Amino acid sequence: MIGMNSYLNAYVDRRMDAIVDEWDLATKADLSDFTTRLAALEQEIPRLKAFDHTAADKLTELENRAGQLKGRI
């Protein structure tokens, strides 16, 4: 069994980059600035909420105008 373990360990060592890519695993480099990236995303939330409300209001306005135009035709 020791031979099989060393064979598997060597295989995983050789193929580690491919395994990380294939399984979409996080690496230390990916996680090193995780809190910074998360903080940046959290700062965007209020701006995106405001945009969502503005876009919804504009869409409602456009739907009302389209309804008025339909009534005229």
Give SS3 for 1.
coil
Q: What is the DSSP string of 38-67?
A: HHHHHHHHHHHHHHHHHHHHHHHHHHHHHH
- Distance (Å, whole) CA 47 – CA 56: 14
Every domain of the chain and the residues it spans: 1-26, 33-73
List pLDDT tens digits, range 18-73. 988 999 998 888 899 999 999 999 999 999 999 999 999 999 999 999 999 988 76
Q: What is the DSSP letter of 9?
A: H
Q: How confident is the model at residue 3 (pLDDT cuts 50, 70, 90)?
A: confident
pTM over 0.75: no
Backbone angles phi, psi at 27, to 5 degrees: -110, 170
